[in-house]
Structure 1
Amino acid sequence: MDDTTPAPQVWPSLRAENARALIRFLVDAFGFEETVVYGEGDRVDHAQLDWPEGGGIMLGSVKKDAQGDLSPLRPGTFAAYVVTARPDELCTRAKAAGAEIIAEPHDTEYGSRDFAARDPEGNGWYFGTYPGAPRKAAAGS
């Protein structure tokens, strides 16, 4: 095993009051790619949005009857850090699409270039160049 950072395999998920509008926003403002959306009318049972640089998110409409819901997340309580090679360009795109920028592009003390935005549901989105630290080799490798 080498000490490179593996491709993302964690799929954060969130709920939205207006999932179809949130999908449009995430595609238009941030550049996520709509892969699949299941549901009828305004309801989204499951959606997968891929991040062009690797990984992605899953989302669905908030369920009015939360009993038996395995993921009773409240809209607007989600936050994610998304790795991008072009945070300044992405921030410009997000502003043009109406995203609320909560932190302008800046350099961090750990060598990343970051910015932060909030989507119309109130979720926090943090974008930057920090890909995570390389993993240590497993013992006995």
Structure 2
Amino acid sequence: MSTDVSRTTLWHTFSVRDADAMVAWLRAIGFTEHATYRDEADPSVVVHAEWAWPGGGGIRFGSERADSAIAGTGPGAAYLVTADPDAAFDAAVAAGGTVVRPTVDQDYGGRGGSVNDPEGNHWSFGSYQPA
């Protein structure tokens, strides 16, 4: 386990109603599985999952459960910085996302757009890297 805190990385965390649908969503938009731990008694329940974004950071999620440390955290919102926001946006829509704001050039720099995923979480994809 790395303890280097000189590199800042964000792991957005939320709970989901349908973990298998979220896994498919994350895979479709370019995340890769780092770890997924399922309930042995009910494999449809994800106790804890970590899915990494190729540029750094990632998503942590689990199935909605009363005993979860992340109970009640979804839906949420995330801004994903990517060199190709059009491709990420198009993949998100193709995977079942609902367009909130089409991808356009932004006045403050970069390009970006946003969708809601099937769980109702708001995802913005953009090339603008906040300082």
TM-score of Structure 1 vs Structure 2, range by shorter chain: 0.7 to 0.9
> How many aligned positions are there?
123
What do the CA deviations read for 1:37-82 (whole angstroms, capped 9, x no partner)? 001311101101100111111000011x35xx43322432x10001
Summarize the alignment of residues 90-129 of structure 1 with structure 2, pairs less than 5 Å apart.
Answer: 90-129=88-127
Q: Following superposition, which runs of at least 4 residues in structure 1 exceed 3 angstroms of deviation? A: none
Q: Secondary structure at the match of 2:128?
A: coil
Question: Could you list the runs of 5+ residues in structure 2 that have no partner in the other structure?
Answer: 1-5
Higher-Rg structure is: 1
What is the aligned partner in structure 2 of residue 136 from structure 1? none
Summarize the alignment of residues 1-141 of structure 1 with structure 2, pairs less than 5 Å apart.
Answer: 7-28=7-28, 30-40=29-39, 41-63=43-65, 65-66=66-67, 69-76=68-75, 78-133=76-131
Percentage identity across paired residues of the two chains: 37
Contact 1:7/1:55, CA 8 A, preserved across alignment: no
What is the aligned partner in structure 2 of residue 138 from structure 1? none
Contact 1:8/1:54, CA 8 A, preserved across alignment: no
TM-score between both structures, scaled by the size of structure 2:
0.85
Question: For the structure 1 residues 104 and 8, does the alpha-carbon distance in structure 2 shift closer, same or farther, using more than 3 Å as the test?
Answer: farther
1:71 corresponds to which letter in structure 2? Answer: I
Contact 1:87/1:115, CA 8 A, preserved across alignment: yes
RMSD, aligned CA: 1.7
- Determine which structure has the larger strand proportion and give its number: 2
User: Deviation at 1:36?
Assistant: 1.0
TM-score between both structures, scaled by the size of structure 1:
0.79
Q: Which moved more, 1:41-50 or 1:92-101?
A: 92-101
Paired with 2:79 and 2:103, the residues of 1 have a C-alpha distance of: 14
